[in-house]
Structure 1
Amino acid sequence: MTVRSALGTAAALRQGQIDAVELTEQTLEAARGVGAQVGAFAHLLEDLSLAQAEAAARTLDDARRSGTLEQLGRAYPLLGVPLPVKDLTQIAGQPFGAGSALLEGNIAEVTDGVAQLLLDAGTVTIGKTSVPEFGFPCYTEPATGPPARTPWDLRRTAGGSSGGAAAAVASGVVPLAHGTDGGGSVRIPAACCGIVGIKPSRGLVSAGPHGTEGMGLVTDGMLARSVRDAAAGLDLIAVARPGDFLTSPRPQKGFLASCDRAPSALRIGVLTEPLAARTEIHPAALRGLERAVELLRGMGHQVQEVPAPFTPEQWRAFMPLWTVGAAALDLSEDAEPLLMELTRWLRAEGRTYDGVDLTRAMAGVQTIARRTGEAFSELDVVLTPSLAAPPALPETIQLADGGEDFDAQCRFTPWTSTWNMTGCAAISVPIHREAVDGIELPFGVHIGATRAGDDALLLGLAAQLEQADPWPLVRAPHEA
């Protein structure tokens, strides 16, 4: 199957170079083949996808006959493009398992707002991508299906919780995929799989009409092989809804247009101190960061090293919110033994907190966000490695004891969650590759905005890096 970008695929569909139904059949075949190798999908949605493709083909044929292809491309820029939905997001009448044995065989009754936007945009769902149980860990080892693995080394995790989405994109099954991010769940798997992953600003993508945003730690995002594709995907879902607690501005011309406006003379901070845990940083991760720094200096940006704005102990203010969220899942006592160890531990920890603790935790997270904002107020963006180490071997982070498992995850991902606390946009770009134990692996660089609403600036900078130092687009699954 020819590998195209999401935007290139859409253009080829409009020009009649490929047929929407044939493309969908080829993509489903790839999902059953390469996709199965990397554990990309929890469920394939063949009937829905073929119906979507047939509708797209009819729309394209009508536009050709009426001479309105150009207008159609503006209104539906990704019409007919395969774009799977993460299995933490519901599509009515389709499986919704959230990686848990408790929901095996469950069928969604409603369609979540973001999924509906993707359906309305004329994209082809293909399937629901694999997730860990309820999306809690930074690895993807579901209770009900195969684990998600990075195609760079099938022994290593694809990251989480959008691990299936990242694996599907990186292995070439689809050019673009939906994800969600509450502590790095888009950016971590993007780094593990050598692709782009963006978490937008708080309030840019509505959780409605069926979901609620709470403190806004979790948001929907996009995973892609190119910055432009990620921006085009973000344009589809960046919609406000009635009742949103907070909204973030959207550029008048959309996020894709921002990729063509390279920012100049930005003030860039470089942070190498870990934030969520005290841990060593792999030398290749630091070399990847230095590679990005050299490129940015060559573009005329002002780059300076900055210290950590808070300590790992202060970061622990995040903990009650995460564990109480797990405890708040509406499950019966009989269901508890069916849960995976990490989920049981999170729920048990969450039950130890009361309303006073939760209120203090919410204040603590805002305090960290304020301290971080003040520390970075003279900067436009902050660079860190995306991860402290190469894509992890699962046995090094998925541990038998829930508390030790959580701590290992913090050591592996010591930066990403900070941008969930601040609410600012952040993106991981696969700028570097290096051999580890004889196998080439990806090392991402994390770029975090310092002001809410600077998504367009972030995408422009990431596109500037991509143009200066392009990365590999597809990785065939590699067995060590």
Structure 2
Amino acid sequence: MPVSEPTALELRDALRRREITATELAESALARVEERPDLGAFVSVNAELALADAARADVRIHTTAPHDLPPLIGLPTAHKDLIDVRGFVTTHGSRAMPHRLAQADDPIATAVRAAGAITIGKTQVPEFGIAGYSENAVAPPAANPFDTSLTAGGSSGGTAAAVAARLIPAAIGSDAGGSIRIPAAACGLVGLKPGRGVVPADRLRGATDPAGAPTMGVSGPIARTARDAALFLDAILGGRGEPTLAAVNRAEELRGLRVGVSLASPFEEWIEIGFSAEAHAAVAAATTALEAAGHHVEAAAIHYEPQYPEAFTTVWTAGLGRINFAPGAEALLGDLARMFLERARRTSPEALGAAVEGLRSFAASASRQWAQYDVVLTPALATLPPALGAFTARGPEGDYRLQCQWAPQTSMVNVAGHPAATAPTHWTATGLPMGVQLIGRPGSEAQLLQLAEQLMDPLPARTASGGRAFTSRD
């Protein structure tokens, strides 16, 4: 059977029926990675380790009853080059850090391994994961599969490019300020940021960071379909059965939600935020689809506290100040990381404490306003993806401003700790995806993926290789 087009769920089921082997899937994935160096999706691969893991998976599949198999057994996947995966080198996207072979898995890699997936490599990220695009001095940038002159987003940009280009069926990314949702939206995928503390592996970080701010980073799926995202989410949740997948399979039953549409951004007090015609088209398409599905959609009057830009940036950059760099290593930092590090070192403990309190106040206010609705709908991104190099060409300050203008409504969800998902709802005449973000109430991850299933353009005729097959619906 062909292995480039089936979904992760279809491949999982074919593996369990023994119609295809994990070794065949791993070999195919490795070959496709080798065929697409233009994407810059992977920083490294380890074919020997991947094929050995696949061979062990094949033995297990052939000696175990299907209902006793792990949920992702035999599916090829990848991890961001920010986390340790046993047998793979971790670079953190930085020349300023030693590139060491990991001897053990980070907690989320442990969860993915326990679910049976086969890691074939590490994917491209920005330096230390601090940007909404995936370019660094370690490896080529992650390019958008629909137009390789454009960014794939970040910080899970390499992962999103790999999934959209069908190099791997799906993967788990991480999101501390939009790092799942930004690249998923840029690459026409479903991306889910679970709520704070939902994923067991993430709970090991605690509810607050070392400065006392709410922990912003979580792990979640990036996939081509809502069902595939549900499959991977259930796998890392580790519970019995697959309740999220079951819910998405019944997505047509979900009706009657109150959906508030908002273009408000907490960054608009600092910089001008403008949404393109494509972003408006994505929101309009989502509104039409949601109303057709039986939901009530209305404009939401949401106003964000003005201290957010300064407070968020102070807390966001503080983490770099906690890294112990080797002598001389700081000279190897990229411009953005160096600017953030200098800011972190200039920030007094009192100023950091005030920023933490500012974020807590913001989170409480935002949560109260969002609670008026079952779901808050926003554009996923303000514009189409910028060109590769567009961020860094502006210098570090302009780089950061452009990131906040391009993704002006993602980081606030991390601060509040709510779940959020992105889904493509509109395609431009040149074949580029645009989508929307759905912000849910705590515990609504399954509902968000049900809505993504209701929203997504169902036509699979679009290719992720720079071209597009048009249909009568265009």
For residues 374 and 114 of structure 2, the distance between their equivalents in structure 1, rounded to whole angstroms, comes to 35
What is the CA-CA distance between 1:210 and the residue it aligns to?
7.0
Aligned residues: 456
Aligned to 1:28: 30
Give TM-score, length-normalised by structure 2: 0.92
Answer yes or no: is the 8 Å Cα contact 2:29–2:168 preserved in 1. yes
Answer yes or no: is the 8 Å Cα contact 1:172–1:474 preserved in 2. no
Aligned to 2:220: 221
Answer yes or no: is the 8 Å Cα contact 1:203–1:216 preserved in 2. no
Tell me the SS of whatever aligns to 2:113: helix
Corresponding position: 1:465 with 2:455: yes
For residues 14 and 252 of structure 1, the distance between their equivalents in structure 2, rounded to whole angstroms, comes to 16
Give TM-score, length-normalised by structure 1: 0.90
What is the CA-CA distance between 1:401 and the residue it aligns to?
2.4
Aligned to 1:427: 421
What is the CA-CA distance between 1:454 and the residue it aligns to?
1.4
Cα deviation code 1:301-341 (max 9, x no counterpart): 11111133215653432111111112212213511110100
Cα deviation code 1:257-297 (max 9, x no counterpart): 22133322001000123332422110111111010001111
For residues 274 and 306 of structure 2, the distance between their equivalents in structure 1, rounded to whole angstroms, comes to 13
Cα deviation code 1:193-244 (max 9, x no counterpart): 11111100100124568755622201111100001111111112125xxxxx
Aligned to 2:446: 456
Tell me the SS of whatever aligns to 1:366: helix
Q: How does 1:271-310 map to 2 (within 5 A)?
A: 271-277=262-268, 278-310=272-304
What is the CA-CA distance between 1:463 and the residue it aligns to?
1.8
For residues 391 and 347 of structure 1, the distance between their equivalents in structure 2, rounded to whole angstroms, comes to 27
Q: How does 1:120-135 map to 2 (within 5 A)?
A: 120-135=114-129
What is the CA-CA distance between 1:105 and the residue it aligns to?
3.7
Equivalent AA in structure 2 for residue 23 of structure 1: L
Corresponding position: 1:266 with 2:265: no
Aligned to 1:113: 107
Q: How does 1:63-102 map to 2 (within 5 A)?
A: 63=64, 68-69=65-66, 71-72=67-68, 75-102=69-96
Aligned to 2:16: 14
Equivalent AA in structure 2 for residue 77 of structure 1: P
Unaligned runs of 5+ in 1: 240-249
Residues 119, 473 of structure 1: alpha-carbon distance in 2 compared, 3 angstrom cutoff: farther
For residues 27 and 15 of structure 1, the distance between their equivalents in structure 2, rounded to whole angstroms, comes to 20
Q: How does 1:43-54 map to 2 (within 5 A)?
A: 43-54=44-55
Aligned identity (percent) is 36
Corresponding position: 1:441 with 2:432: yes
| Match for residue 256 of structure 1 among 222, 242, 245 | 245
Answer yes or no: is the 8 Å Cα contact 2:49–2:87 preserved in 1. no
For residues 86 and 206 of structure 2, the distance between their equivalents in structure 1, rounded to whole angstroms, comes to 18
More displaced 10-residue stretch of structure 1: 161-170 or 211-220: 211-220
Aligned to 1:406: 400
What is the CA-CA distance between 1:475 and the residue it aligns to?
2.8
Answer yes or no: is the 8 Å Cα contact 1:130–1:164 preserved in 2. yes
For residues 202 and 434 of structure 2, the distance between their equivalents in structure 1, rounded to whole angstroms, comes to 34
Equivalent AA in structure 1 for residue 230 of structure 2: A
Aligned to 1:475: 463
For residues 394 and 464 of structure 2, the distance between their equivalents in structure 1, rounded to whole angstroms, comes to 32
Answer yes or no: is the 8 Å Cα contact 1:171–1:474 preserved in 2. no
Residues 361, 207 of structure 1: alpha-carbon distance in 2 compared, 3 angstrom cutoff: farther
Aligned to 1:319: 313
Tell me the SS of whatever aligns to 2:119: coil
For residues 427 and 229 of structure 1, the distance between their equivalents in structure 2, rounded to whole angstroms, comes to 13
